[in-house]
Amino acid sequence: MNAPDLLEISPDRRLAYHRSHARATGKDAPGVVFLGGFRSDMTGTKATFLEDWARERGRAFLRFDYRGHGASSGDFLDGAIGDWADDAAEAVMRLTEGPQVLVGSSMGGWIALLLARRMPERVAALVGIAAAPDFTEDSMWAGFDAAQREALARNGRVELPSDYSDEPYVITRRLIEEGRQQLVLRAPLVLPFPLRLLQGTADTDVPPEVALRLLDHVDCADAQLTLVKGADHRFSEPRELALLAATLDALDVAGGV
C-alpha cells in the first residue's frame, strides 16, 4: 500500500490521508469522505472498500486519520471528540471541493453530524454506519459504575475491556468532559440533505435503539434507516458492504462547488 500523504495543519499537527481525484465519469457527482471510528484508522475494510467503489465510478474520495489515530501525529489519549471533529473539518475544507457525501462509521457518524451542524453547505448527504452520536455520555459515562466514576475523577482515566484488542480501552476524563460540549441529541439537529442510516440488529456496541433515537431526533425531510438482521458493529461482511455500495449508488445528490 502506498504511503499516505500528510496534511500539515501546524508543526505538531499532521493528518495522514489518501485522496483519489474525480475522473470525467464522476466529476458531476459529489466526492465521498470516510470518517472512521473510535481508535480505528483509514486502513480498515470499509474505508478501502469505499475507495475502490469511488475509483470504479470515477468519484473523488478521501480517507484520513484523526490525530492520535493511525499514521497521523499526536497521542490518542490526548484527544477528544471536538479535536477529531476539528481534524475532520480541516480535512474536508482543505482536501475536498464542494459538497461531499460524508460516510461516518460509529464515532465517525457523530463526527459527521458535527460537521453537518458546522458546515451544512459542504454536505451533500450523510451516511451513518452504526452511527454513535453522544456515545461518551450515553454509553460510556452512563455505563460506568460508582468505582469507575471515582477512578476517572481520581486518576483522570479508567480502563475498559475491549472486544477488538487484547489491550484495554483507556477512557480519559477529558474525553468524557469535552464530549459533553459536542452532544448532538440534546438540541434540534437540522439536516437539509439526505440521511441514510445503516444498522445491524446484532450490534452490541451501538444497539439499534441508538439509530432509532437519531432518526426520531433529526429534522430531515429525507431520512431512512435500514436494519440488517444479524449484522454486528463491524458491518464489514460482503452483504453489508454491498448494501453500503447500493445505498451510495441510490443517493440522488448533485455535485458542484
The residues carrying an active-site annotation are 106, 203, 233
Q: How far apart, in whole angstroms, are the C-alpha atoms of residue 236 and residue 243? A: 10
By C-alpha distance, which of 123, 143, 144, 100 is closest to 218?
A: 123
Spatial separation of the C-alpha atoms in residues 33 and 193, rounded to whole Å: 16
In Å, what is the CA distance from 78 to each residue of 72, 75, 163?
A: 13, 5, 22
Alpha-carbon gap, residue 127 to 113, rounded angstroms = 10
Contact in structure between 123 and 253 (CB atoms under 8 Å)? no
Judge contact between 20 and 54, C-beta under 8 A.
yes
CA dihedral 242, 33, 184, 199 (to 10 degrees): 10
Q: Which three cell numbers stand for residue 44?
A: 480498515
Angle between helices 238-250 and 45-57 (to 10 degrees): 40
Nine-digit cell string for 193? 440533505
Residue 168 to residue 221: CA distance in whole angstroms: 41
What span, in angstroms and rounded, lies between the C-alpha atoms of 59 and 171? Answer: 37
